[in-house]
């Protein structure tokens, strides 16, 4: 695996959450800088073997916009 993708969403109670696609990794943090650190730590923990670990972590920021009609 060369890359792992984490869609990132704003949590309703504040902060951000990230859940990996295709791999059971989930984490959350109060701000994006802290989330980046948490995601990196979670990936390193999940992929203990260097040969399986992805070389790139992509954070995909997802934002919903609600428009009143």
Instruction: List, for residues 7-44, the tens digit of each pLDDT value.
Output: 999 998 999 999 999 999 999 999 999 999 999 999 99
Given strand 56-62, what is the order of strands in its sheet? 26-29, 16-19, 3-10, 56-62
- Give the chain's largest Cα–Cα span: 52
Q: What is the pTM of this model?
A: 0.87
And the tokens for 54?
């992805």
Alpha carbon 57 to its chain centroid, in Å, reads 8
Distance CA 26, CA 42 (A): 8
pLDDT digit string, tens, across residues 40-56: 999 999 998 888 899 99
């Amino acid at each position: 695996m060369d890359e792992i993708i984490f869609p990132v969403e704003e949590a309703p109670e504040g902060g951000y959450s990230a859940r990996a696609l295709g791999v059971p990794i989930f984490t959350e943090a109060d701000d994006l800088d802290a989330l980046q650190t948490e995601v990196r730590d979670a990936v390193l923990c999940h992929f203990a073997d260097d040969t399986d670990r992805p070389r790139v972590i992509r954070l995909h920021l997802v934002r919903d916009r609600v428009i009143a009609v």
